[in-house]
Chain A
Amino acid sequence: MKALHDFVEGKIKPNFEEGAKLHKLWPVYDGLYTFLFVPGHTAHSGAHVRDGIDLKRTMNTVITALIPCLLFGMWNVGYHHYNALGMDVTFFDQFLFGAIKVLPMVIVSYGVGLGIEFFFCVIKGHQIEEGYLVTGMLIPLIMPVDLPLWMLALSVVFAVVIGKEVFGGTGMNIFNPALLARAFAFFAYPTWMSGDKVWINTDVAEGQAVVDGFSGATILGDLATTGATSYSAFEAFLGLIPGSVGETSTLLILAGAGLLIFTGIGSWKIMLSGVLGGATMGIIFNLVAPYALSPEQQAFMAVPFWQQLIFGGFAFGIVFMATDPVSGSQTEKGKWFYGFLIGFLAIMIRVFNPAYPEGIMLAILFMNTMAPLIDHYVVEANIKKRQKRLALKTAGA
């Protein structure tokens, strides 16, 4: 390791230093260097550091929390593919098929996103921002497996350029970039982002055929159109259901949530209040189900509230997207409102508008816009409270 470090310091670094030929590309060098080694610079003024955690380690923790979902998603893709074809293959075959489908999505997401990020850093001449590390992993996990790669790439371009760079890069974005990529794909190519064709890969080779009675619809798609689904709640909890690559397994998402809460990186307040919000709306729907307008809607509303929480992308969104520290609410009290409303709206959109089964995406994006407003009122309330206290004190004295 030391030999490698000496080689980089001695042979490669001079090329990028002030005045050298490749100085323009310094941000690229610096970004890769600090990614691999400990940064060589120290704080100049009084630093108040309790833990040496930096943005990169934060990101790495989130990615670690996402890895189980990714691996399970790969296997799930293969599992459903071979199920649809009625073939009995080994666990390894299922995983391999899924990996072949999912890995290109991850590579495209990272390649395109980091390419743009590096490009902007070189133009603007500042350090590489590592904000894309998590976004790049989230994007393939919230897309259907059959989405053409160029559409994925275009969504990434939109999310990074319009969602992030125009606002000034990492930490300045008002929306969660990964969700923006999904929203872009959803509105631009609706036939590839919804319906019953895209969630399970049914490419057939010579001599293969899709089994009779096969349906590729997700649970939410089924519920919205017919009010019934063929998957059990236990399957949904484990994740043996069709859906976006990484969103299906509530169990593994909970494991990821555990890691995020344990390391203090994801806000447990947002997650808890999000679940509470979703459950509240679910219970309200349960209560008013007899008054629904159509039998399908009635069946959808009557779904037990706890099942709403494990269907679709609800859990994934609450754990990994709503807790985004940049676009979410910043005040501790605000996080309760922010999370609660996300859960509440997500279930409401999902049931009321069958065209948007993924209510969680729209709910989070909507609450992203509202987060500053929530923070504003929390801060104002605090100011008022303290003014009142001061007035009491001075009056008493």
Chain B
Amino acid sequence: MAEVLDKESSKEELIDKVPKEPLFSKKNRKLLSDPMNDDNPITVQVLGICSALAITVKLYPALVMSISVLFVMAAGNVIVSILRNFIPNRIRIIVQLVVVASLVALVDQVLKAFAYDVSKELSVFVGLIITNCIIMGRLEAFALGNGVWRSFLDGIGNAFGYAWILLAVSFFRELLGSGTLFGYQVIPDAWYIANGGFYSNNGFMLLPPMALITVGIIIWVQRSRNTKLIEE
């Protein structure tokens, strides 16, 4: 038994190869910063689009969704990274699903207990975090082959990359579609046509196609600033 454990730990060293690195080395910082821009899960890898289209009508649900995904992603990455040497390769997807599903169930219960309104608004999309491609993608591509700390950073980085797109899209959709931000009215009442002004909310912004177009515009801006993303 001792022999096996020894073998395991030496294997871990072989895989990690960075045991003496500082916690925030350049490589580790890149894990956090890459998903924000060059390797953004939504705009570059085009994962997790469904939830980005569905729950970005208002900022608050988008924020709650981002936090939920942040938690599931970071914890899931850490757990799978700890377990990675014990998971038989052939059933790894099932194990990952069990991990993610338990975490999502946890998030769902917490939301129902403490933020019932939002939980109702997000409806099935909390449960659908399980199938969020970003999470499975990161577990498969990163946590299975990297140490705990690096997996944690990767999870947080990707969750933030997901979150800022979600928040940016819902910012524009809520501002232009409802004239509010986080439920507070920001466009003065007097501007509206009903009150003798000239302005009217854009109803199209509340419909899913506009979320797709907003994401598209973000991708457009990103690629024109960052030309190495443009494929031939």
Q: Which residues of A contact B (CB under 8 A)?
A: 148, 150-151, 154, 162, 166, 184, 187-192
Residues of B within 8 A of A191 (CB): 200
Per the 8 Å Cβ criterion, residues 179-226 of B in contact with A are 193, 198, 200, 202-205, 207, 213, 216, 220
Residues of A within 8 A of B204 (CB): 184, 187-188
Q: A162-B213, A166-B220 are in contact. Are A187 and B207 (CB under 8 A)?
A: yes
Residues of A within 8 A of B203 (CB): 187-190
B199 nearest CB neighbor, chain A only: A150
Q: A162-B213, A166-B220 are in contact. Are A189 and B202 (CB under 8 A)?
A: yes
Residues of B within 8 A of A162 (CB): 213
A148 nearest CB neighbor, chain B only: B198
Q: Are B198 and A188 in contact (CB-based, < 8 A)?
A: no
A-B residue pairs in contact (CB < 8 Å), sample of 23: A148-B193, A148-B198, A148-B200, A150-B198, A151-B200, A154-B202, A162-B213, A166-B216, A166-B220, A184-B204, A187-B203, A187-B204, A187-B207, A188-B202, A188-B203, A188-B204, A188-B205, A189-B200, A189-B202, A189-B203, A190-B203, A191-B200, A192-B200
Q: Which residues of B contact A (CB under 8 A)?
A: 193, 198, 200, 202-205, 207, 213, 216, 220
Q: Which 7 A-B pairs have the closest CB atoms?
A: A188-B204, A187-B204, A188-B202, A188-B203, A189-B200, A190-B203, A162-B213
**Min distance, Cβ A358 to any Cβ of chain B, angstroms:** 16
Residues of B within 8 A of A150 (CB): 198
Residues of B within 8 A of A154 (CB): 202
CA distance A154 to B213 in the complex (A): 15
CA distance A58 to B205 in the complex (A): 36
Majority secondary structure, B binding face: helix
**Min distance, Cβ A277 to any Cβ of chain B, angstroms:** 27
Residues of B within 8 A of A148 (CB): 193, 198, 200
Residues of B within 8 A of A190 (CB): 203
CA distance A188 to B202 in the complex (A): 5
Residues of B within 8 A of A189 (CB): 200, 202-203
**Min distance, Cβ A119 to any Cβ of chain B, angstroms:** 14
Residues of A within 8 A of B205 (CB): 188
**Min distance, Cβ B200 to any Cβ of chain A, angstroms:** 6
CA distance A312 to B198 in the complex (A): 28
Known: A166-B216, A188-B202, A188-B203. 13 other contacts (CB 8 A): A148-B198, A151-B200, A154-B202, A166-B220, A184-B204, A187-B203, A187-B207, A188-B205, A189-B202, A189-B203, A190-B203, A191-B200, A192-B200
CA distance A187 to B205 in the complex (A): 9
Residue with the highest number of chain B CB atoms closer than 10 Å, among A162, A188, A190: A188
Residues of A within 8 A of B216 (CB): 166
B224 nearest CB neighbor, chain A only: A123
CA distance A323 to B35 in the complex (A): 46
B207 nearest CB neighbor, chain A only: A187
Residues of A within 8 A of B202 (CB): 154, 188-189
CA distance A143 to B192 in the complex (A): 21
CA distance A166 to B200 in the complex (A): 27
Residues of A within 8 A of B200 (CB): 148, 151, 189, 191-192
CA distance A191 to B200 in the complex (A): 10
A190 nearest CB neighbor, chain B only: B203
**Min distance, Cβ A197 to any Cβ of chain B, angstroms:** 11
